[in-house]
Amino acid sequence: MIVATAERSATRLQRDFAALRKDFPALQQLIHGKPLAYLDNAASSQSPTAVHEAMALQQRLHHSNVHRGVHQLSERSTAAYEGAREKVRRFINASSTTEIVFTRGTTESINLVAASFGQRLRAGDEVLITWLEHHSNIVPWQLLCERTGARLVVSPIRDDGSLDGAAFEQLLNERTRIVALAHVSNALGTLNPVAELVAKAHAAGAVVLVDGAQAVPHLRVDMQDLDCDFYAFSGHKMFGPTGTGVLYGKRAHLETMPPYQGGGDMILTVSFERSTYNALPYKFEAGTPNITGVVGLGAAVDYLESIDFAAVDAHEHALLERATERVLAEIPGARIVGTAARKASVLSFVVDGIHAHDLGTIVDREGVAIRTGHHCAMPVMERFGVAATARASFALYNNHDDVDRLLAGLQRAVEIFRG
């Protein structure tokens, strides 16, 4: 009876999310003559029509620079741009729009913190990251350590791809100034217990930055609950446009940080002797911003706000379980890389004797889009002794048919390479 109830619930979710799939024009096309099964969402998600229309309207009728303009178009653009900031604030439950800085994406957000807040580090200080990190949450800290003489410390992960919590806690000490970690691993799907880790880092006196690029499209994130000092994410991972992103920062930190870049809109006054800087968050938004992109980001937030995140989690988890079970059962020599108990909808795997790139090429001919390579996480690949993995990553618009077609493509690859 319980099984039957679970099956009915899964069927209902499939039916509900099938309707949402119609909101995404890219999913209605044929690839190599076959319907597209888009399973590369961890790299970049597709956008719904509502996002396209919001950006087109902004560009077609309201295009003008924001702030300071007194004519009608500038006022419209400013209202749309700042309206998107309020949407983001509400979406992540930040205390104020002064804590929402628009950037080009997660990478720039992390670099901003490293370049600005990081100026206070000195030789002997430590920056603690984890072995799960994307290159964007490794390289900026390496550069910071090279400039300041601080030391980069890396917390290990277990064989299942989960963070070794005891080792993490042991590495925290009085020299730890910054802790930077992923909310969700892009390469393995591991979901970190962020609130718990933040509390431990704060107890040691450290400031915490969380890379939330892979979390925001799938989880309800709440800055008051997480209590992190900085949180970074990208528009194009959450059904919005590329070239847009957000840095959330606690106001107390942002107030004391020097500007990241100089130029228009981040200033109050300029003379040849000295300049004074604008209020938050504009102090960190030099130059003409990506206005149309931010409007699209706001529309993506509106779209996500209309979705039941608990239903999304159940739907994506069911797809992940189905794909995991079938890959292991039906693909000879398949091995899952990253088997943590708490995972987001990311499935990384290898197949003995077949390179990941070959798998990707063959399933593409079947109309299935997956990502292959090191996923900008080369230390993760090194940790598991592989050069690359194939990665299928699911979003709310994916369905059982996408999983079935992935398996058919992988079976085709096995036939080709093993006869």
In the chain, the amino acid numbered 82 is E
| Cα–Cα dist 257/311, whole Å | 39
In the chain, the amino acid numbered 257 is M
| Cα–Cα dist 20/148, whole Å | 49
Other C-beta atoms within 10 Å of 353: how many? 11
Contact of 260 with 112, CB cutoff 8 Å: yes
How many Cα atoms occupy the beta-carbon half-sphere of 241 within 13 Å? 22
239-275 in b/e burial notation, b at 16+ Cβ within 10 A?
bbbbbbbbbbbbeeebeebebbeeeebbbeeeeeeee
Cross-strand partners of 320? none
Strands (E), 151-277: 151-155, 176-182, 207-211, 230-234, 245-249, 267-270, 275-277
| Cα–Cα dist 52/300, whole Å | 10
Contacts of 133 (CB under 8 A, 6+ apart): 180, 181, 182, 211, 377, 379
Q: Identify the active-site residue in 154, 376, 386, 408.
A: 376
Strands (E), 125-224: 126-130, 151-155, 176-182, 207-211
Contact of 287 with 261, CB cutoff 8 Å: yes
Give the closest residue to 284 by CA, choosing from 263, 269, 303.
263
Question: Is 376 labeled as catalytic in the residue annotation?
Answer: yes
Active site positions, annotated: 376
